[in-house]
């Protein structure tokens, strides 16, 4: 007893004021503003990028300041979560404080209306009918949706009957529901982050994987799944513009060494297994085998074969040059039309990307194409793209002149270079003779068809190839492609709570905005042989719709009364 | 879509009483028939084929069957239940408008170039582009007319503004429908999709939404003067969309896999109901601020004759928010549902999501200021205007300046 009393006192004296303060509007608004400002920062400052990029972008001072504040993974910092937590608390306090008042207001219905109040209300009419009992009965029974309450008032010995009708009296539930629903949403969100996980998994075709990786703050963390995922096949369909139309992975779930299910997933259609959803998120090269021909830029002009896998390093045994393979693409569809003209999509064929490094060489990103560039049905020779910054957006295209997919052209070039006169006063005719001799050597059975084009391309090669900084021309020759499928795995125990909260929220908002609390007072005044109904109506919102409804009401009462009268007579 | 009712309502029984009631239920029955066909007809629902099924004998049978049931129901409702009639009278002009739009679209298809002339690479000969141009002209003309009406309040000028705005809505709506149809003509029907997939398309949709919301408020509250503030916002959007077209954003392009979902048809339009009503609220706010300024200088100014009163403007801004806020909330929630299906989580703090939250907070605060604190007038007028600036950033700015999961809305 004493304990109970003490708790009451301590609640009233300490907890209640705190609750009131936190549940008050200024605090809530402060929290919402903080949330909004933080959110703006989070969108303007790109989240979860490479730390090195941040360092480059902001410089050391700002980088360390931002990092200390956790701005690079802001939505998971303690202070951001604290704002959300306080908001939750504030909502809770707000509901606790206001809901009882709302409920009380909904219950209390004033049965009468003063003359003075009636004067100021727009919607009213007087109706005189013959039969009091029938009038009351017709009001009470035949007006759909109205809830009626009787009040008897005796003034100076004269008893007056009042009828009060309500429609949409529950509209204050809208406010309560909306605030509770947000509480539910925040609880659901907290459950998701506390008990759920979300991470990525890259599974090459034919391989099995069981670990997901995700970012936590600035570091990458790993989590083992209770099952393994095998990617049986991965396929992509393309539109003719080169844009992917569908990625599809066939996945097999393996648990305790047993295959438990096999299913296809595509974007927008995840797989569900034991509380974990598996989404198709991305795809990429899963370590394709590539074969390159290295055309030596030396006197012999021999061709070496370089075999490598994407994501591995190839070291040239004859020089100190290395190639780090980055990516392989089976298609390269480009719009060949000049800007502003009708588009002309063309597949440029397979390509491989690698970074080439060596002593005294500036490391550059190279894209080597397998097929020659054909324009207007004419072979323009092979193509290589070089990005000096290492960014794929900065690729510059170089036409090498020769078609490296045709080994004879390289032979021709070598033979031509070998026979070129070396003395300074060689004439054009001498050069031409050297070309003819080279042609005779490489094409003993007659000249190739596009001779003129070929000649021009050899000249182009003569201009371009000696400027190459590398000891060889690396050209893609063959490939065996494998993809990896990029999966996202997520477990979200709070999701259903969030949906329940969402449903509440929408429902509550609809009540709040679209249900008007409409009240009608009817004062029934007895006359000698008739009865006068003084009807007054009030609505807390949407006066225009209410005017219509109120006018209808008059008609409805009249109709119902007439009907009642007709039946009994 | 209440243009029809505005033109004819005073004159004929077309939109009143029994006839409206029966027509309404015929429509509703027809829609039920369409839904039933999707659910129960042989083969199940296949999105890309459904539309063509509708226009086949099978579709006609299901729809006619539904319509007959609907009419039968309507005939059994007694005249005394005039609340039921009222429901039909409110609903029927909207469906009439939608039917008219579909009919217009059907009419345009007759003028479409022959199939051999239509290529993905060059879409300039498709008719929808021209109808969008007509819409642009209507809307710009309407904006000018409304402003003229405010300055020289002749009934005729005002009516002209309203009428051209409606023409703009019908042109825009039917052009979008036609664009939907045209997307199936390209690349053998592989890339057919609803016309709400890029900025250009949603802009057209947005114009229609703003106009419909405003015009409905106009006809209900007799506030034609407000048009001089709403339509210039639309006109600004028209210039932006013309610019989008000039940089090649108007081409029908295939959908990236993430967008290939029925959710797109629900999430995007609903969002624009929100954006559209916030635009109307902004216009009412601007009108409020201007009127207050004029009143302070000269309370008898001539320009105030058709200018809605401060009280009405305050009410209208609230009304627009009351339409937009629940729609925007629902759209965001449905977006979360889509994200849970496509991206691995209902909320990822993606820039678009975060800005949607900010917009939501801004208008949530507006409502609190109004109801909990009883604020009215100047503060709320400014709030509506600034809130719309935040909305614009959420809608266009995020796509142009921030990248994220929603980046398919980006200009490239």
Which pLDDT band, with edges at 50, 70 and 90, does B2 fall under? very low
* B187 with A189: Cβ contact below 8 A: no
Query: Quick check: B308 pLDDT over 50?
Result: yes
Task: Please enumerate in sequence order all residues whose Cβ is within 8 A of that of A55, keeping only pairs 6 or more positions apart, or say none.
Answer: A63
Give the model's pLDDT for residue B408.
59
* A342 with B122: Cβ contact below 8 A: yes
Nearest residue in B to A248, CA atom: B257
Q: Which one of B322, B333, B364 has the shortest CB-CB distance to A506?
A: B333
For residues B69-85, give the mean pLDDT: 77
Q: Give the DSSP H/E element, type plus range, for residue A537.
A: strand A531-539
Token code pair at residue B207: 């114009």
Give the relative orientation of helices B351-371 and A25-44 as an angle to the nearest 10 degrees.
Answer: 160
Percent of chain B with pLDDT over 70: 92
Query: Mutation test of the interface with chain B: which of A36, A199, A511, A560, choosing the one with the most B Cβ atoms within 10 A?
Result: A36
Q: Is B344 on the interface with A (CB under 8 A)?
A: yes
Residue A528 burial by Cβ neighbours in a 10 Å radius (0-12, 13-18, 19+): exposed
The CB-side HSE value for A469 (13 A sphere, CA atoms) comes to: 14
Name the 3-class secondary structure at B273: helix
* A36 with B191: Cβ contact below 8 A: no
Count of CB atoms situated within 10 Å of the CB of A344: 12
**Interfacial B residues in 282-321 facing A (CB < 8 Å):** none
Count of CB atoms situated within 10 Å of the CB of A447: 11
Q: Which one of B220, B254, B358 has the shortest CB-CB distance to A239?
A: B254
Question: Which position has the token pair 């004998």?
Answer: B57
For residue B393, list chain A residues with Cβ-Cβ distance below 8 A: none
Distance from CA of B297 to the nearest CA of A (A): 32
* A495 with B258: Cβ contact below 8 A: no
Query: Quick check: B10 pLDDT over 80?
Result: no
* B256 with A244: Cβ contact below 8 A: yes
* A506 with B82: Cβ contact below 8 A: no
Q: 0.90 exceeded by the pTM?
A: no
Token code pair at residue B228: 């001089």
* A343 with B326: Cβ contact below 8 A: no
Task: Please enumerate in sequence order all residues whose Cβ is within 8 A of that of A51, keeping only pairs 6 or more positions apart, or say none.
Answer: A67, A72, A218
Distance from CA of A144 to the nearest CA of B (A): 10
DSSP, residue by residue, B9-56: TTT-GGGSHHHHHHHHHHHHHHHHHHHHHHHHSTT---HHHHHHHHTS
Distance from CA of B82 to the nearest CA of A (A): 9
Query: Quick check: B112 pLDDT over 90?
Result: no
Query: Mutation test of the interface with chain B: which of A40, A43, A105, choosing the one with the most B Cβ atoms within 10 A?
Result: A43
* A29 with B191: Cβ contact below 8 A: no
For residue A269, list chain B residues with Cβ-Cβ distance below 8 A: 341
Give the model's pLDDT for residue A567.
59
Q: Which residue ranges in chain A fall short of pLDDT 70?
A: 1-12, 339-340, 342, 566-569
For residue A281, list chain B residues with Cβ-Cβ distance below 8 A: 343-344
Distance from CA of A248 to the nearest CA of B (A): 10
**Interfacial B residues in 369-408 facing A (CB < 8 Å):** 372-373, 398, 402-404
Query: Mutation test of the interface with chain A: which of B79, B222, B253, B257, choosing the one with the most A Cβ atoms within 10 A?
Result: B257
pLDDT tens figures, A317-329: 888 889 999 899 8
Distance from CA of A356 to the nearest CA of B (A): 30
In 3D space, the residue among A489, A486, A488, A487 whose CA is nearest the CA of residue A275 turns out to be A489
* B373 with A47: Cβ contact below 8 A: no
For residue B341, list chain A residues with Cβ-Cβ distance below 8 A: 268-270
Distance from CA of B61 to the nearest CA of A (A): 33
**Interfacial B residues in 64-93 facing A (CB < 8 Å):** 80, 82-83, 86
Distance from CA of B342 to the nearest CA of A (A): 4
Distance from CA of B322 to the nearest CA of A (A): 6
Which pLDDT band, with edges at 50, 70 and 90, does B9 fall under? very low
Give the model's pLDDT for residue B5.
44
Give the model's pLDDT for residue A10.
63
Query: Quick check: B176 pLDDT over 90?
Result: yes
Contact (CB, 8 A) for B174 and B101:
yes
Token code pair at residue A384: 């290589």
Length of chain B: 412
Token code pair at residue A41: 């920062």
Q: Is B258 on the interface with A (CB under 8 A)?
A: yes
Give the model's pLDDT for residue B384.
94
Distance (Å, rounded) from C-alpha A378 to C-alpha A450?
9
Contact (CB, 8 A) for A88 and A193:
no
The CB-side HSE value for A556 (13 A sphere, CA atoms) comes to: 21
Q: Is B117 on the interface with A (CB under 8 A)?
A: no
Distance from CA of A463 to the nearest CA of B (A): 36
Give the relative orientation of helices B17-40 and B82-109 as an angle to the nearest 10 degrees.
Answer: 60
For residue A167, list chain B residues with Cβ-Cβ distance below 8 A: none
CB pairs under 8 A between A and B: 130
* A47 with B364: Cβ contact below 8 A: no
Cα torsion B253, B258, B262, B263: sign: negative
* A247 with B257: Cβ contact below 8 A: yes
Mean of all residue pLDDT scores within chain B: 87
Token code pair at residue A228: 């393994």
For residue A177, list chain B residues with Cβ-Cβ distance below 8 A: none
* B119 with A241: Cβ contact below 8 A: no
Name the 3-class secondary structure at A4: helix
Contact (CB, 8 A) for A331 and A356:
no
Query: Quick check: B411 pLDDT over 70?
Result: no
Give the model's pLDDT for residue B13.
67
Give the relative orientation of helices A78-107 and A172-195 as an angle to the nearest 10 degrees.
Answer: 150
Q: Give the DSSP H/E element, type plus range, for residue A179.
A: helix A172-195
Question: Which position has the token pair 């004759």?
Answer: B305
**Interfacial B residues in 3-62 facing A (CB < 8 Å):** none
CA distances, B32 to each of B51, B86, B144, B295 (Å): 15, 21, 42, 53
Q: Which one of A25, A342, A544 has the shortest CB-CB distance to B220?
A: A544
Distance from CA of A120 to the nearest CA of B (A): 18
* A498 with B346: Cβ contact below 8 A: yes
DSSP, residue by residue, A210-260: EEEEEEETTEEEEEEEEEEEEEEEEEEEE-TTS-EEEEEEEEEEEETTEEE
The distance of Cα A377 from the centroid of its chain, to the nearest Å, equals: 43
For residue B347, list chain A residues with Cβ-Cβ distance below 8 A: 189
**Interfacial B residues in 184-243 facing A (CB < 8 Å):** 187, 190-191, 220-221
Q: Quick one: chain B helix, strand, coil %, rounded to 5?
A: 75, 0, 25
Task: Please enumerate in sequence order all residues whose Cβ is within 8 A of that of B184, keeping only pairs 6 or more positions apart, or say none.
Answer: B48, B192
Q: Which one of B121, B361, B404 has the shortest CB-CB distance to A36?
A: B361
Distance (Å, rounded) from C-alpha B153 to C-alpha B166?
20
């Amino acid at each position: 007893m004493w304990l109970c009393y003490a708790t009451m006192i301590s609640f009233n004296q300490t907890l209640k004021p705190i609750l009131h303060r936190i549940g008050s509007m200024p605090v809530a608004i402060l929290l919402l503003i903080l949330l909004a400002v933080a959110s703006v920062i989070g969108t303007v400052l790109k989240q979860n990028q490479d730390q090195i990029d941040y360092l480059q972008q902001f410089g050391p001072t700002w980088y360390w300041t931002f990092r200390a504040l956790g701005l690079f993974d802001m939505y998971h910092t303690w202070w951001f979560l604290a704002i959300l937590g306080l908001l939750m608390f504030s909502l809770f306090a707000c509901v606790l404080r206001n809901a009882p008042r709302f409920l009380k207001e909904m219950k209390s219905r004033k049965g009468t209306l003063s003359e003075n109040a009636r004067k100021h209300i727009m919607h009213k009419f007087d109706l005189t009918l013959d039969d009091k009992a029938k009038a009351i009965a017709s009001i009470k029974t035949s007006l759909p949706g109205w809830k009626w309450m009787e009040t008897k008032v005796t003034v100076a010995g004269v008893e007056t009957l009042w009828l009060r009708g309500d429609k949409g009296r529950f509209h204050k539930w809208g406010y309560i529901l909306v605030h509770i629903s947000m509480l539910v949403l925040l609880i659901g969100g907290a459950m998701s982050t506390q008990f759920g996980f979300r991470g990525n998994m890259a599974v090459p075709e034919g391989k099995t994987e069981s670990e997901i990786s995700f970012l936590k703050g600035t570091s990458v963390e790993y989590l083992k799944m209770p099952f393994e995922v095998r990617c049986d096949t991965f396929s992509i369909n393309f539109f003719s513009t080169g844009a992917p139309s569908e990625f599809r992975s066939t996945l097999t779930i393996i648990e305790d060494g047993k295959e438990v299910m096999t299913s296809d997933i595509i974007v927008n259609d995840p797989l569900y297994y034991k509380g974990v959803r598996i989404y198709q998120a991305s795809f990429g090269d899963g370590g394709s085998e590539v074969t390159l021909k290295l055309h030596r830029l030396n006197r012999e002009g021999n061709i070496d074969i370089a075999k490598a896998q994407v994501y591995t390093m190839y070291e040239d045994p004859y020089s100190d040059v290395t190639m780090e393979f980055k990516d392989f693409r089976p298609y390269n569809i480009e719009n060949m039309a000049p800007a502003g003209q009708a588009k002309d999509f063309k597949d440029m064929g397979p390509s491989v990307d690698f970074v080439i490094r060596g002593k005294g060489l500036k490391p550059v990103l190279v894209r080597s194409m397998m097929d020659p560039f054909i324009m207007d049905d004419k072979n323009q020779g092979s193509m290589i793209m070089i990005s000096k910054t290492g960014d794929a957006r900065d690729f510059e295209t170089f036409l090498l002149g020769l078609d490296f997919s045709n080994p004879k052209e390289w032979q021709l070039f070598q033979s031509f270079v070998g026979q070129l006169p070396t003395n300074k006063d060689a004439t054009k005719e001498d050069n031409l003779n050297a070309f003819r001799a080279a042609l005779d050597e490489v094409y003993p059975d007659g000249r190739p068809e596009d001779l003129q084009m070929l000649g021009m391309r050899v000249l182009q090669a003569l201009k371009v190839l000696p400027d190459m900084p590398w000891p060889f021309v690396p050209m893609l020759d063959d490939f065996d492609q494998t993809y990896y499928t990029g999966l996202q795995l997520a477990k979200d125990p709070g999701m259903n709570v969030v949906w329940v909260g969402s449903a509440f929220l929408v429902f509550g908002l609809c009540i709040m905005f679209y249900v008007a609390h409409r009240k009608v007072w009817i004062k029934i005044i007895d006359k000698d042989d008739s009865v006068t109904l003084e009807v007054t109506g009030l609505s807390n919102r949407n006066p225009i719709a209410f005017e219509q409804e109120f006018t209808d009401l008059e008609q409805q009462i009249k109709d119902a009364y007439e009907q009642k009268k007709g039946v009994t007579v | 879509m209440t243009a029809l009712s505005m033109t004819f309502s005073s004159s004929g029984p077309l939109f009143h009483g029994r006839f409206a009631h029966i027509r309404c239920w015929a429509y509703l029955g027809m829609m039920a028939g369409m839904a039933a066909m999707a659910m129960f007809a042989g083969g199940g629902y296949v999105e890309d084929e459904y539309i063509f099924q509708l226009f086949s004998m099978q579709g006609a049978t299901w729809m006619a069957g539904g319509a007959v049931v609907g009419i039968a129901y309507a005939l059994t409702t007694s005249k005394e239940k005039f609340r039921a009639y009222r429901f039909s009278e409110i609903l029927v002009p909207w469906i009439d408008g939608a039917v008219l739009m579909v009919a217009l679209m059907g009419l345009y298809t007759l003028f479409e170039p022959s199939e051999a002339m239509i290529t993905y690479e060059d879409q300039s000969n498709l008719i929808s582009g021209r109808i969008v141009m007509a819409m642009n002209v209507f809307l710009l003309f309407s904006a000018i007319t409304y402003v003229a009406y405010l300055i020289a309040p002749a009934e005729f000028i005002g009516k002209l503004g309203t009428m051209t705005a409606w023409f703009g809505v019908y042109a825009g709506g039917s052009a979008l429908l036609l664009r939907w149809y045209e997307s199936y003509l390209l690349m053998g029907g592989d890339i057919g999709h609803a016309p709400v997939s890029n900025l250009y398309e949603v802009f057209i949709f947005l114009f229609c939404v703003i106009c419909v919301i405003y015009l409905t408020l106009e006809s209900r509250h007799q506030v034609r003067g407000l048009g001089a503030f709403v339509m210039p916002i639309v006109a600004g959007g028209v210039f932006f969309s013309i610019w989008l077209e000039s940089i090649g954003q108007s081409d029908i392009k295939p959908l990236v896999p993430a967008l290939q979902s029925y959710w797109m048809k629900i999430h995007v339009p609903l969002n624009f109901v929100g954006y559209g009503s916030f635009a109307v609220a902004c216009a009412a706010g601007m009108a409020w601020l201007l009127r207050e300024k004029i009143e302070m200088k000269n309370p008898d100014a001539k320009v105030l004759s058709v200018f809605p009163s401060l009280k009405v403007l305050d009410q209208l801004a609230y009304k627009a928010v009351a339409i937009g806020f629940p729609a925007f909330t629902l759209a965001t929630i449905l977006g979360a549902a889509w994200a849970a299906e496509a991206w691995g989580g209902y909320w990822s703090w993606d820039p678009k999501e975060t800005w949607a939250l900010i917009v939501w907070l801004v208008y949530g605060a507006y409502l609190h200021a109004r109801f909990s604190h009883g604020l009215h007038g100047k503060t709320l007028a400014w709030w509506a205007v600034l809130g719309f600036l935040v909305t614009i950033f959420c809608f266009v700015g995020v796509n142009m300046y921030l990248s994220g999961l929603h980046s398919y809305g980006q200009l490239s």
